[in-house]
Amino acid sequence: MVTSVTSLGRNGLYDWLIQRVSAVVIALYVIGMVGYLICNSDLDYATWSAFMGSVPMRIANTLMLFSVAAHTWIGLWSVTTDYLTGLTFGKAATSVRLVVQMGIALLLLVYILWGLLMIWGGA
Amino acid sequence: MKVSIYRYNPDTDREPTMKEYEVDTQGKDLMVLDILALVKEQDESLSYRRSCREGVCGSDGMNINGKNGLACITPLSEVAPGVKEGKKPLVLRPLPGLPVIRDLVVDMGVFYQQYEKVQPYLQNQSPAPAIERLQSPEERAKLDGLYECILCACCSTSCPSFWWNPEKFLGPAALLQSYRFLADSRDDATEERLSRLDDPFSLFRCHGIMNCVSVCPKGLNPTRAIGHIRSMLLERGV
């Protein structure tokens, strides 16, 4: 058993499942959004604003936001643990990996908070 | 034909080099191992492992023109178009990702450590019956495609996940063996076996790129076995 405190769920199955579920959410959102834009090619600001301000769309946007953040974290966590290791960085590997991972985590946290503000802030 | 072989002696060489040899195959579709024997006649300092010369022992796994395989059962005509005809050189390198001991001989230590981790032996806590533990033909059939592995390491050393994390990711060979015992009706250590595979590295580093399947000289499918283990973990964990 290999332990890791920085993976999203500290468990391979959990991360794997979240990766798949978030991928489905992202795919459905993108397909739905592309469909909406094709069906409403003469979109104006008022229609778009009303559409994005509706409760179902706010929920969909929130789901999308969390899915993208979780998907990104799991994916980039894999990338950092693949390439930022002792093979490439020697003794400095742990520090480099930790700094990069914390940078990504904080950035994603900012995106989530900023996104929530945009979706639910009513601006 | 031209043969280009990776040469490295850590005691005397600063870095590895590729050495060119000229070998006369007389137009025959020889096996790569035969070519190595012909080169060895010219230059006896060349080192490589071999034993059974018929794809059973798994000693002569190496990288042949970019693809891992067993030298003894890989004919020149299957290496790449033009190699047998001498239009393209035969390029031999050691299995990627493992430390080189000398020339084409690699240190398989980490590969065997991962194999050991999956406890590749039957575990059954119930009292042994008088004769043997019986299996139905259907139960036995589940082991087909699993038990045939000869541990040549062609699969694990073609897997990028194993290259980057050889000490944490078990690799396709060990995972195939893990499933061989998970699928065995006579083994009752399923829970313990699965609980050791649940972390983000041991099994879940497999991203299903199927390099292992494409190189396995025995035609086995470790990716499918890994998928079966994942399903077992999912059933257990959801």
| Interface residue A7 vs chain B (CB under 8 A) | yes
Burial class (CB in 10 A: 0-12, 13-18, 19+), A110: exposed
pLDDT score for B94: 98
How does residue A2 score in pLDDT terms, banded at 50, 70 and 90?
confident
pLDDT at A123 over 70: no
In whole angstroms, what is the distance from residue B167 CA to residue B162 CA?
A: 8
Distance from CA of A88 to the nearest CA of B (A): 9
Nearest residue, CB atoms, A83 vs list B164, B198, B199: B164
Instruction: Please answer whether residues B219 and B204 qualify as being in contact, where contact means their C-beta atoms are separated by less than 8 angstroms.
Output: no
Q: Per-residue pLDDT tens for B77-116?
A: 999 999 999 999 999 999 999 999 999 999 999 999 999 9
- Comparing CB atoms, the residue among B164, B202, B237 nearest residue A82 is B164
Q: Does B204 touch chain A (CB under 8 A)?
A: yes
Q: Which of A2, A4, A79, A94 to mutate to test the interface with B (most CBs of B within 10 A)?
A: A2
pLDDT in tens, B167-183: 999 999 999 999 999 99
Give the whole-angstrom CA distance, residue A95 versus residue B135. 52
Task: Give the pLDDT confidence of B177-228 residue by residue, as tens digits.
Answer: 999 999 999 999 999 999 999 999 999 999 999 999 999 999 999 999 999 9
- Which residues on chain A are in Cβ contact (under 8 Å) with B207? 78
pLDDT of residue A87: 87
Percent of chain B having pLDDT more than 70?
100
Residue A1 has pLDDT above 90, yes or no: no
Q: Which residue among B164, B201, B233 sits closest to A13, beta carbon to beta carbon? A: B233
What is the DSSP track for A14-68? Answer: HHHHHHHHHHHHHHHHHHHHHHHHHHTTT--HHHHHHHHHSHHHHHHHHHHHHHH
Cα gap B108→B72, rounded to integer Å = 19
CB within 8 Å: A2 and B168: yes
- pLDDT at A43 > cutoff 60: yes
Q: How far apart (Å, rounded) are the C-alpha atoms in residues B111 and A91?
A: 23
Q: Copy the structure tokens of residue A122.
A: 């009513």
List the single residue in A with minimal CA-CA distance to B193.
A1
Q: Looking at chain B, which residue has its C-alpha nearest residue A87? A: B164
Name the residue with tokens 């005809």.
Answer: B85
Global confidence as pTM = 0.92
Distance, in Å, from the CA atom of B85 to the CA atom of B77, rounded to the nearest integer, reads 8
Mean pLDDT of A35-43: 92
Q: Do B202 and A7 touch (CB under 8 A)?
A: no
Evaluate whether B58 touches B151 at the Cβ level (below 8 Å). yes
pLDDT, averaged across chain A: 93
- Whether residue A12 and residue B237 make contact (CB cut-off 8 A), yes or no, is no
Over the stretch A56-114, which tens digit does the pLDDT of each residue have? 999 999 999 999 999 999 999 999 999 999 988 999 999 999 999 999 999 999 999 99
Q: Span A15-38, mean pLDDT? A: 96
Which chain B residue shows the shortest CA-CA distance from A3?
Answer: B199
Say which residue, A42 or B211, is predicted with more confidence: B211
pLDDT, tens digit (0-9, with 9 covering 90-100), for B54-73:
999 999 999 999 999 999 99
Position A122 confidence tier, pLDDT thresholds 50, 70, 90: low
pLDDT bracket for residue A3 (50, 70, 90): confident
Average pLDDT over residues B118-139: 95
Give the distance from residue A62's alpha carbon to the nearest chain B alpha carbon, in angstroms.
25
Rounded to two decimals, the ipTM of the complex is 0.86
Please report the residues numbered 10 through 69 in chain A whose beta carbons come closer than 8 angstroms to any beta carbon of chain B: 10-17
Question: Which chain A residue is nearest to residue B97, measuring alpha carbons?
Answer: A87
- CB B153 within 8 Å of CB B217: no
Is-contact B222 B180, C-beta < 8 A? Answer: no
Residue (of B70, B63, B69) closest to B103 by Cα position? B63
